[in-house]
Structure 1
Amino acid sequence: MSPQPRSANGPLEFRFSRMERLLGGHPVRTVSVDGERAEFVTDPALVHRVLIKDGKRYGKGELFQKARLLSRAGLLAQDDVLHRHYRRLAHPYLRGAAVADHTPVMAEVARDTAAAWRTGQEVDVQAAMCRAAAAIALRTLFAGLTREASSRLERQLAVVAWELISKPLYGNAAARARRQSTSRRSAQAFADLRALIAAQLDSPDATAGYLAALLSDPGRPGTPALSADEVCGEAVMMLTAATVTTASVMSWALYTLSEHPLIEEKVLKDLARTAAAGDSDRVGHGHGPPGYTLRFLMEVLRLYPPVWITCRRTLADVTLGDRALRAGTHVMFSSYLLHRDPARYPDPHRFDPDRWLTLRPSAHDASYLPFGAGARGCVGEAFAWKELEILLGAVVREWRLTLPPGGRVRAAAHTTLHPQRLLMLPEPR
């Protein structure tokens, strides 16, 4: 990504620190992504206009999509009416009441994940979180599959999730990945997952959950129902989206606790309190501030939003701030930058869960967007909060995790913002 004009040495290599220096102080600035011109927005008020106030005048942008192998027929459809149709189809399986029903399954998977680790044996945390999130997604959203079928799908979904997490989005790295064997490996991993799902379409086991809803959906006037191939694509999209984001956030959460023992102690105390009281904490609900564990997760998502960059495209001529944009213009913003705005978050790079004692996420404030906002915001937000809470609790109650001697963690801004590699040593509490 580079500002216009390009530097004398060619396109500027992506770095978060450089991104902050180049774009800070500019509400809207023209940039270039893989040779495509785009307008980069850093003003939360203007991002709110793009996503919510004038949301109908912006469609889904194509930048950063070329590296993804996901469905475009259902929830990711360009057409807003079609998107809303499939959003309503998914909602019964992701709303608050359904999440409560999913809690026992989430807890079982979380306990099994923690129980599989051994004292002093290195754990690839991201791989473990991919497997856990894959199991939760399949056993809750695709209820009704046999245990054997579910196990096969879980293993393949975990493989696909890691391929997607670590895939570069743009620039030279993405071009190299498309030319190299990694692209063929990713395509094969997705094809294998689709084949496993396709094998379930005619099975009597596929009579419950989201897969059954896709299969029985008659479509809407003027739009035919999804074909069998499109059902498979939509299922892959939902499952991978549910897996990759959770795996990335949980990896950052466990790493962060290892770096902040005092915060870890507070999380443990809060988990013990909520378990004894049977409490359930949710963002934006209740009259008091969120509990410490939820504040901790909110701060993890502030500093490490999995969907770190987003693109929209103008559907008509619009005015954004002092810019007149023609129809078809790419408009970008970064949750990473919005979440580190010093005007909203004093000392923005410091990890401080207690900043959420006074700050409150709001639908009218686009400075905190871990799940997006507006008509295309994440349909599974309630599901994700509960899943993160349960996974975190199961792991940290059993294990204290540390980096191996000499271990160092770096952020990788790929399809999600994730640790480049995260090997950790578990020690029992």
Structure 2
Amino acid sequence: MTLAERVVSLRGKVFELVNGDNAITFPNERFGPERFREIYSHPAARGRSEGAGLSDLFWYWLSPGPEVHQEHLEDGPRYDEVARTTLRILSGPSDRITEAVTRCTAAVLDGFPGGLVRLRDLMMPVWAEFCYELVFGEPCPREARELIVGHANDVVTALKCTGLRHMKRRERLTRYLARRLGDVPHELPASLSPREQVHYLQGTFFNTAVVQLSEGMAHVLLALAQHREIQERASTADDRYLGHVLDETMRLYPLFGIAHRITKDEITLDEDTTLPAGSVLCFSYPAYHATGYEDPGRFDPDRWEALSAKEAHHIPYGIAANRPCPAWRLAPLAMRAAVREVLRRFTLDSTVTHTRSLPSRGPCLLVPRGESVSPARLRAIRTFLRVRDRWEDVGRSFLQLGLGTFMVLDARHRRLAGRYFADPAPSRCPVH
């Protein structure tokens, strides 16, 4: 196991231990992958934030406004209204979504001549522009794009523990959205105050959506960069094969590490095991995705010719019975369109380590189509990428341990979720 993999493993254990003895991770030795969906889908496993120490950490990372973030709202009329609004904003004809993503991708890539780049950094402006169009129904101005990218990059950098939070940077976007709230053509949740509506937009569309789409694209493009035959096939393939590429990427490199739920009532697992109300259930996507496949560590889109995503151990967008990602329909459409536009313009090559957390942001060489790189120069670039990646990996791993420890302790001290639910007037926003 590499140092980076050890750090990822340690971070996973930290998430499990934050809650103390009332947390249990699935799948485990006793309740394996065959019980995973059943437990995840259980009607009692519906709690989102209240009562979990891990919530304090996620609220800390997602500030400002985690109390109205769709992923962390508790069940009830307020969540239902927010969820309906999100689905309405995300809906639209497939061809319109494809056209918008292709246009946004082209606009960003028009300014990139090729060369060495970090894939997450390259793709984040694409999704900033696309999500702005979803929310405001108009092209994204440069000022807004810079604010959205700065905010989203700060969030994901903190999540990867490669940098601390910079709340002033995040609040610049908050102030911008507050000024523009009246320009949003969508009917926003009436149960939210104007400030909460701003936080809802910022958290759902300019945090989660931009971050996750950027991460997903970095994984897809890096996987293609490291499998040239698959890349060439994908560059001319139909939607079916590109769908297999996305499925295989999300299987090997799921965007979610651990999702947690809090039990609202008892859950009986067998005659000897009953989970009491208030238990924190941690569902490990990587562990679940690694079961039920032949040679699970191999990147092989062709395996999906004989697999059904509904029957396979594969939940890239969560469990349908327990709040799946609201972008489960939009994301594959959007990512296929972006992949097509990138591959239409460039060939990709990379020798860096590809991990699920991808703290390196995906260093890669992009060569414009029609241009060639001499074998000697390509070998030199590959060697440079490999050596730099290994060197950065050492320092970055220690940085993650240090900053991650600090943020866990700071989040426990601030107790954003705990204080919010303990407050007799929970409509008041917690201090971030």
Question: Shorter-chain-normalised TM-score: which range?
Answer: 0.7 to 0.9
* Closer, same or farther: CA 390–419 of 1 in aligned 2, 3 Å: farther
The AA in structure 2 aligned to 1:228 is P
SS at match of 1:234: helix
| Contact persistence 2:69–2:204 (CA under 8 A) | no
Q: Which of 35, 38, 62 is the matching residue for 1:46?
A: 35
| Contact persistence 2:33–2:288 (CA under 8 A) | yes
| Contact persistence 1:317–1:327 (CA under 8 A) | yes
| Contact persistence 2:289–2:314 (CA under 8 A) | yes
* Closer, same or farther: CA 295–409 of 1 in aligned 2, 3 Å: same
Alpha-carbon offset, residue 400 of structure 1: 0.9
Residue 119 of structure 2: aligned partner: 125
Q: Which of 128, 143, 152 is the matching residue for 1:152?
A: 143
Alpha-carbon offset, residue 320 of structure 1: 2.7
Alpha-carbon offset, residue 56 of structure 1: 4.1
Q: Which of 188, 202, 208 is the matching residue for 1:236?
A: 202
Alpha-carbon offset, residue 360 of structure 1: 0.8
| Contact persistence 2:23–2:281 (CA under 8 A) | yes
Q: Does residue 166 of the first structure (1) align with residue 154 of the second (2)?
A: no
| Contact persistence 1:106–1:390 (CA under 8 A) | yes
| Contact persistence 1:47–1:366 (CA under 8 A) | no
Q: Does residue 332 of the first structure (1) align with residue 298 of the second (2)?
A: no
Q: Which of 151, 154, 177 is the matching residue for 1:197?
A: 177
Using the alignment, how far apart are the partners of 1:68 and 1:419 within structure 2?
18
* Closer, same or farther: CA 250–83 of 1 in aligned 2, 3 Å: same
Q: Does residue 409 of the first structure (1) align with residue 353 of the second (2)?
A: yes
Q: Does residue 109 of the first structure (1) align with residue 70 of the second (2)?
A: no
Residue 265 of structure 1: aligned partner: 232
SS at match of 2:268: strand
TM-score, normalisation: structure 2? 0.74
The AA in structure 1 aligned to 2:287 is L
Using the alignment, how far apart are the partners of 1:354 and 1:366 within structure 2?
14
* Closer, same or farther: CA 195–128 of 1 in aligned 2, 3 Å: same
Q: Percent identity?
A: 22
Q: Does residue 60 of the first structure (1) align with residue 48 of the second (2)?
A: yes
Using the alignment, how far apart are the partners of 2:62 and 2:84 within structure 1?
24
* Closer, same or farther: CA 331–419 of 1 in aligned 2, 3 Å: same
Once the two structures are superposed, residues 69-123 of structure 1 have per-residue CA deviations (whole angstroms, 9 ceiling, x without a partner) of 143226231124432222112222223x44433332211111123322214x322
Using the alignment, how far apart are the partners of 2:88 and 2:11 within structure 1?
43
The AA in structure 2 aligned to 1:316 is D
Residue 318 of structure 2: aligned partner: 372
Alpha-carbon offset, residue 268 of structure 1: 1.5
Alpha-carbon offset, residue 129 of structure 1: 1.0
* Closer, same or farther: CA 77–131 of 1 in aligned 2, 3 Å: same
Using the alignment, how far apart are the partners of 2:348 and 2:267 within structure 1?
50
Q: Does residue 295 of the first structure (1) align with residue 244 of the second (2)?
A: yes
Q: Which of 250, 256, 270 is the matching residue for 1:307?
A: 256
Using the alignment, how far apart are the partners of 2:39 and 2:46 within structure 1?
7
SS at match of 1:118: coil
* Closer, same or farther: CA 312–293 of 1 in aligned 2, 3 Å: same
Q: Relative to total residues, which structure has the larger helix share, 1 or 2?
A: 2
Using the alignment, how far apart are the partners of 2:218 and 2:108 within structure 1?
14
Q: Which of 280, 284, 298 is the matching residue for 1:350?
A: 298
State how many pairs are aligned.
349
Using the alignment, how far apart are the partners of 2:213 and 2:324 within structure 1?
16
Once the two structures are superposed, residues 261-299 of structure 1 have per-residue CA deviations (whole angstroms, 9 ceiling, x without a partner) of 1111211220xxx4xxxxxx4xxxxxxxxx211101110
Once the two structures are superposed, residues 224-243 of structure 1 have per-residue CA deviations (whole angstroms, 9 ceiling, x without a partner) of x2111100110011121111
Q: Does residue 250 of the first structure (1) align with residue 198 of the second (2)?
A: no
The AA in structure 2 aligned to 1:263 is I
Residue 100 of structure 1: aligned partner: 95
Q: Does residue 422 of the first structure (1) align with residue 371 of the second (2)?
A: no
The AA in structure 2 aligned to 1:195 is R
| Contact persistence 2:265–2:276 (CA under 8 A) | yes
| Contact persistence 2:62–2:155 (CA under 8 A) | yes
Structure 2: stretches of 5+ with no match in the other structure:
370-432
The AA in structure 1 aligned to 2:133 is R
Residue 83 of structure 1: aligned partner: 79
Residue 396 of structure 1: aligned partner: 343
| Contact persistence 1:410–1:419 (CA under 8 A) | no
Using the alignment, how far apart are the partners of 1:59 and 1:366 within structure 2?
26
Using the alignment, how far apart are the partners of 1:226 and 1:17 within structure 2?
38
* Closer, same or farther: CA 86–31 of 1 in aligned 2, 3 Å: closer
Using the alignment, how far apart are the partners of 2:169 and 2:246 within structure 1?
31
Alpha-carbon offset, residue 302 of structure 1: 0.5
Residue 288 of structure 1: aligned partner: none
Residue 134 of structure 2: aligned partner: 140
Residue 429 of structure 2: aligned partner: none
Structure 1: stretches of 5+ with no match in the other structure:
1-11, 23-29, 219-224, 275-280, 282-290
SS at match of 1:89: helix
Using the alignment, how far apart are the partners of 1:67 and 1:366 within structure 2?
32
Alpha-carbon offset, residue 15 of structure 1: 4.0
In angstroms, what is the RMSD of aligned CA positions? 2.7
Using the alignment, how far apart are the partners of 2:295 and 2:210 within structure 1?
31
* Closer, same or farther: CA 227–18 of 1 in aligned 2, 3 Å: closer
Alpha-carbon offset, residue 16 of structure 1: 4.2
